[in-house]
Amino acid sequence: MFPGEGLVLKPEEMAVYGADSSRRSAMPWAVVRPRTEEQIVELLKWAEAEKMPLVPRLRGTGMSGGAVPAFGGIVVSTLWLNRVIDINADDFCAEVEPGVITSEFQALTQKQKLFYPPDPASLKISTLGGNVSTCAGGMRAVKYGVTRDYVLGVRAVLPGGRICDAGGRAHKNVVGLDLTRLFVGSCGTLGIFTKLILKLLPLPESSATVLAAFPSLHNALEGARGVFRAGILPTAMEFMDHTACQGIGQIKDVPWPRESTQAVLLLKVDGSASALAYELDRLERALSQANPSCLLKGLGPKEEEPLWEIRRLVSPASFQLGPDKLGEDVAVPRGRTVEAVEGFQAIGKENGVHVACYGHLGDGNTHVNIIYDAKDEDQRARAKACKEAVFRLTLSLGGTISGEHGTGITKGPYVSWQLSETERELMAGIKNVFDPSGILNPGKGWV
């Protein structure tokens, strides 16, 4: 079924396929690398007959262990299914295979003045298939939504070798249940994708960015509220708290006053080049009401880039504060963000660990980085207590324990904190319809 390089059995080669960005790992029983859909059909016929667990995988940048064969099985890398089949400016859609790198696809669409908005920070290293399977979000979600909002159709091979073509190229479709949406975010538990149909938009002409620093978290969040109240819908609205800013300050010269800055906002707007100078002005006026201590503007990608470079440093900079971190990605209703962030900071203090909060303020999705030393047993216990307290607070505010990374193996044990028994029973029933023998990515997610 998998001649030559299509089958990997050497432990030293397989080990790479057993880990992802969650820093969890397990040795696969074998690794297969199909080049065609026919091979995947044959594999799923055989696996169903043999009750053989299969773990789909692409670039392994997932943060929750979704591609880690933690419960055994054969890893199925669909990275070689990586053709861009069609980009169509009349239908405003594209057909692609799962292994296409997200940023490479975006570059191709841009050549035709088309736009694929989902922008996980990993877009240069992750794939469209992985993004659909995890329903990846990104900074532009506040204006454009997440991956789910751009998937018109999914072609997937199911256990036993059946092919399901859900959805299609039409932008509206209300015939039957929405199987396409079921596949999005299913983390390889329902079927193995072989083709995706993605929705495109016209490419905005240009963009502009504002960075503003504030003497308190309240001021920053007041500034953010002021932007929405002024009727501005930013493309991105990111924030970084005091601890996150401190971490960045340790590896880079920062434009804000180091001692007095408690929070930084970064906002992007996009649209026609002629309207953007006016939009920047409106943004500045709205933010100024909240008394920023520093405000920098960038018009067009060249001026914006240094401002966004600072934001990209926030994750690596957190390691300045400690060697290990638990990176949570909770989300709360947008109006509860202040309570959430202040609560997370207080939880960090109570447990004696650094907690850096940053992320997608515009949609209430906060990255809570709990920084600790995993070699120290006491710190490990305190970090875990901190993570659980963060989840409890999030849920008490009406939020979710994962806004974008999915539950995988890292949050699996906490799913029942959020989902009711009825929800879990329904989900288990759906899983059973697609995968009655439970061979697809066992032990992951939500049941």
Ligand X SMILES: Cc1cc2nc3c(=O)[nH]c(=O)nc-3n(C[C@H](O)[C@H](O)[C@H](O)COP(=O)(O)OP(=O)(O)OC[C@H]3O[C@@H](n4cnc5c(N)ncnc54)[C@H](O)[C@@H]3O)c2cc1C
Angle, in degrees to the nearest 10, between helices 377-396 and 337-351:
160
Q: What is the CA radius of gyration of the chain?
A: 22
Q: Contact 124/103 with Cβ under 8 angstroms? A: yes
* Nearer to ligand X (CB atom), residue 295 or residue 419: 419
Residue 266 CB, nearest approach to ligand X (Å): 14
Q: Which residue has the tokens 């009750």?
A: 51
* Nearer to ligand X (CB atom), residue 195 or residue 382: 195
Q: How far apart are CA 361 and CA 275, in angstroms?
A: 24
Tell which residue, 428, 419, 426, 430, has the closest CA to residue 447.
Answer: 428
Q: How far apart are CA 337 and CA 159, in angstroms?
A: 42
Residue 404 CB, nearest approach to ligand X (Å): 3
* Nearer to ligand X (CB atom), residue 126 or residue 261: 126
Q: How far apart are CA 363 and CA 266, in angstroms?
A: 14
* Nearer to ligand X (CB atom), residue 167 or residue 188: 188
* Nearer to ligand X (CB atom), residue 152 or residue 187: 187
Partnered with residue 238 across adjacent β-strands are: 266, 360
Residue 429 CB, nearest approach to ligand X (Å): 20
* Nearer to ligand X (CB atom), residue 44 or residue 286: 44
* Nearer to ligand X (CB atom), residue 258 or residue 312: 312
Instruction: Give the interface with ligand X as residue ranges (CB under 6 A).
Output: 20-21, 55-63, 66-67, 78, 98, 120-122, 126-127, 129-131, 133-134, 136-138, 187-188, 192-193, 404-405, 441
* Nearer to ligand X (CB atom), residue 193 or residue 434: 193
Q: Contact 403/368 with Cβ under 8 angstroms? A: no
Helix (H), strand (E) at residue 344: helix 337-351
Q: Residue 377 has which token pair? A: 């047993």
Residue 127 CB, nearest approach to ligand X (Å): 4
Give SS3 for 425: helix
* Nearer to ligand X (CB atom), residue 127 or residue 418: 127
Q: Which residues contact 282 (CB under 8 A, 6 or more apart)?
A: 230, 232
Give SS3 for 59: coil
Residue 58 CB, nearest approach to ligand X (Å): 3
Tell which residue, 440, 405, 416, 427, has the closest CA to residue 65.
Answer: 405
Residue 201 CB, nearest approach to ligand X (Å): 19
Residue 63 CB, nearest approach to ligand X (Å): 5
The residue sitting closest to ligand X, measured at its beta carbon, is: 130
Q: DSSP label at 16? A: G
* Nearer to ligand X (CB atom), residue 256 or residue 434: 434
Q: How many helices (H) and strands (E) does the chain have?
A: 15, 18
Q: How far apart are CA 153 and CA 124, in angstroms?
A: 23
Residue 101 CB, nearest approach to ligand X (Å): 8
Q: Other C-beta atoms within 10 Å of 407: how many? A: 21
Residue 228 CB, nearest approach to ligand X (Å): 22
Residue 190 CB, nearest approach to ligand X (Å): 8
Q: Which residues contact 413 (CB under 8 A, 6 or more apart)?
A: none
